[in-house]
Structure 1
Amino acid sequence: MSKVGILSMQRIFNYGSFLQAYGLKKILEDLGCNVEFVDYHPGECLVIAESGRGLSRKISKVLEVFRNDAPLKEKIRFIMYKKNYAANYYPYLGINKTMNYAPELDLLVVGSDEVFNCVQNNPNVGFSPELFGISNHAKKLISYAASFGNTTLQHLEQYKVRDRVTEYLSKFNAISVRDANSGAVVKGLTGQEPHYNLDPVLAYDFIGKCNVIPSKVPESKYMILYGYSGRFSIEECKAIRAYAKQKGWKIFCIGGVQDCCDKFIDCSPFQVIVYFQHAEAIITDTFHGTIISVITHQKFVSLVRRGGYGNAEKLTDLLERLHLSDRIICDMESLSQMLASPIKYEETDSIIRTGRKHTYEYLRQEISHCIQG
């Protein structure tokens, strides 16, 4: 049995990070591997956040929550969700507070998620060479559905790290990415076309295989607003509130609290899938919120943002690959019309089935080479 490590974003406190880590772990276990998660030391941020670092950043994040008009008890519920996240959900991944740096492995898999997004202001990540496999103790190094996120070739040149990243990528035995920008960066730096694979939340059949997803159905009629706290503007929240009121639905916020929140849902990552399954509609501006909408065959829209940190590159790429570009919304003017429009999932399901085959083929081949080598 191959000893395989996953170097990912498993300690980031959000549902998407958890589900992609869990999904990749289950796929590798399906392939007969003994899997463990590997940790990294955050690097120095190349971009400095306005909120600062360390304690000042944490205080700023808490204040962001209390600035919006959501009910106080829902804000407190969100704070408790963050406080208890590690204790509640790390055990599902087989991790705890003890960090696992550079273990001896047959194979190290870097990914999925934005592991290559090195030009960013998150001090929990920063520019960490370890996220590119540096200083690992594995016999073989590959990536799976890794993403540079908003980091482009131009950013690497601007911040004078292009040569370093090129050197890091040259040490991989195989590179798999999930999106066009990441593929362009890899091709531009190495001259090689990477493999393209589905994010693990698509690649692993959560609906058909995951036996820890509960079956209890939430009772009231509700829609889900899925995004980081305060990400939806006052104007956007007013439009969403008006739409929900017209429909007679409650607004359940998952992942963060927003101005128009009726209830913040503090639940397990697996319960999130159940909430999505039984919602009347979904509004999200996140990558994994979009994916969970797709795997649950929900009515949804994905709000694409081009300003600030932005999400346009990854969301547009994802929805184009799934042939669901018509679910992109840029403002709330067409919200009612778009959510009333039916989604034909047959073609998307076919794309996902093919992508799942490619996932297992890619990983099976790299594991096999590892055993042979």
Structure 2
Amino acid sequence: MKIAILSMQRVKNFGSVLQAYSLAQMIEKTTGVKPEFLDIDDTKTIPCNILVHDNDDYKVKADLPPGIFQKIKRRINRRLTKLNDLKIQKFAEKTLNLNDNIETYYDYVVIGSDEVFNLTSGIRLQLFGNVKQARNVISYAASCGSAIYEDIPKEFLGEVKSALKNFKSMSVRDFGTKEFIGKLYDAKIEMNLDPVLVGELYNRKHKKTLIRKYILIYAYGDRIRTKEEIDAIRAFAKLHKLKTVAIGGMQFWCDFNIPLSPFRVLDYFYYADYIVTDTFHGTIFSVINHKKFVTIVRKTNTNKIESLLSDLHLESRAIYNMQDIEQLIINEIDYKSIDKYLIKKRTEAQEYLRRNLVRINE
């Protein structure tokens, strides 16, 4: 039996490559088959009108300090970002064993996890089920990001619905995606948690970090950019005598910006005193490492963040006003209850894969 994963494994993002790694582990554990990775085909893309763009967060003017020192620092951060990208690319190529020229046929192609149904780059019918290399297509914990049904031009609705009929089974990871796909797909839609939450990364042993006593900032590059956000985080760090350390995306205002490999990122989450993030996987990295954290909710991430925190009964970790950081982030989290819940969800995830990735001759 041959299995491939069709996902965002080429995206230079820690969440993207680690969810791909975790899903591959889960599939191999369930089936005994080591999956390959199939690249996204952008040759058949339907244009659409997006109401909420991922880059909308950058329309707010950044609170850039004046002075030659800050200009030099931002220039250094651009170079650090390139180094970060190289580390992610190396992980993707070597650890995920990506191959640019896979020309084969698979018994199963698993679409997901991550934002495979996002419409930012248009509607890619391959991701919506038109996979020419697949005998069977299923999804696992797929997400549409900030996409909504109204983003799809009416004249292409039939084509999108027709592509989705190719799915043997459908699994999504958040309520927004379930609502989005539910308007396009008539069969049953199941919900499963992201592979990083229900995979084996929580068991990983951690190496010591170079810095201690720090608040970790994990967001896309320079996305935490307003005076309100920066001042609130800095004030909290100063009060608790912590350094501000940015990983993932570089932040021009942090004390340290550190390029890391994907596994090393998890070490920095593990040893952080507190974490501020505004990403889906930053939230998950915080949870699997049992950390005190807050997640900034934005218009572009509302669907996935609020659904994730609701699943984990961690709604209190969502922050809408940065002035609330002190009262929210220092509260204890009942990780014993969360771990019990995740044990249940790991079993459900494996059962979903077991039911839908049966051996062809069985």
* SS of residue matched to 1:6: strand
* SS of residue matched to 1:355: helix
- Consecutive unaligned residues of structure 1, counting only runs of 5 or more, are 52-56
Q: Whole-Å Cα distance in 2 between the matches of residues 65 and 35 of structure 1?
A: 42
The amino acid across from 1:76 in the alignment is R
Aligned-residue identity in percent: 35
The amino acid across from 1:205 in the alignment is E
Counting only pairs closer than 5 Å after superposition, residues 143-154 of structure 1 correspond to structure 2 as 143-154=139-150
The structural deviation recorded for 1:99 is 4.1
Deviation sequence 1:26-82 (CA, Å, 0-9, x none): 11111201310001222355358999xxxxx9xxx9xx9997858243332123222
* SS of residue matched to 1:108: strand
Please name the residue that 1:22 is paired with. 21
Please name the residue that 2:48 is paired with. 46
The amino acid across from 1:80 in the alignment is L
| 1:142 and 2:138 matched | yes
| 1:188 and 2:183 matched | yes
Deviation sequence 1:237-281 (CA, Å, 0-9, x none): 122112112221111111112232111121111111111010010
The structural deviation recorded for 1:89 is 3.8
| 1:100 and 2:110 matched | no
Please name the residue that 1:237 is paired with. 230
The amino acid across from 1:275 in the alignment is Y
Q: Whole-Å Cα distance in 1 between the matches of residues 79 and 154 of structure 2?
A: 39
* SS of residue matched to 1:115: coil
| 1:178 and 2:179 matched | no
User: What is the TM-score when the length of structure 2 is the normalising length?
Assistant: 0.88
The amino acid across from 1:277 in the alignment is Y
* SS of residue matched to 2:169: coil
Moved more, 131-140 or 12-21: 131-140
Counting only pairs closer than 5 Å after superposition, residues 1-373 of structure 1 correspond to structure 2 as 2-31=1-30, 32-42=32-42, 43=45, 45-47=47-49, 69=70, 71-72=73-74, 73-96=76-99, 98-100=100-102, 103-118=104-119, 120=120, 122=121, 126-156=122-152, 158=153, 160-208=155-203, 210=204, 214-235=206-227, 236-306=229-299, 310-368=300-358, 370-372=360-362
The amino acid across from 2:109 in the alignment is L
- Consecutive unaligned residues of structure 2, counting only runs of 5 or more, are none
Q: Whole-Å Cα distance in 1 between the matches of residues 200 and 246 of structure 2?
A: 25
Moved more, 283-292 or 219-228: 219-228
Q: Whole-Å Cα distance in 2 between the matches of residues 197 and 341 of structure 1?
A: 28
Q: Whole-Å Cα distance in 2 between the matches of residues 238 and 354 of structure 1?
A: 40
Deviation sequence 1:136-194 (CA, Å, 0-9, x none): 222211111111111122222x5643222211111111111111121122322223331
The amino acid across from 2:179 in the alignment is A
Q: Whole-Å Cα distance in 2 between the matches of residues 133 and 312 of structure 1?
A: 26
The amino acid across from 1:36 in the alignment is E
Q: 1:78 to 1:49 in 2, by over 3 A?
A: farther
* SS of residue matched to 1:139: strand
Q: 1:21 to 1:233 in 2, by over 3 A?
A: same
* SS of residue matched to 1:333: helix
The structural deviation recorded for 1:214 is 4.6
Please name the residue that 1:54 is paired with. none
Q: Whole-Å Cα distance in 2 between the matches of residues 229 and 49 of structure 1?
A: 22
User: CA-atom RMSD, angstroms?
Assistant: 2.6
The structural deviation recorded for 1:3 is 1.1
Moved more, 215-224 or 354-363: 215-224
Q: 1:217 to 1:257 in 2, by over 3 A?
A: closer
Q: Whole-Å Cα distance in 2 between the matches of residues 79 and 66 of structure 1?
A: 23
Report if the CA contact (8 A) 2:110-2:140 is conserved. yes
* SS of residue matched to 2:15: helix
How many pairs are equivalent?
347
User: What is the TM-score when the length of structure 1 is the normalising length?
Assistant: 0.86
The amino acid across from 1:23 in the alignment is S
Q: Whole-Å Cα distance in 2 between the matches of residues 35 and 240 of structure 1?
A: 42
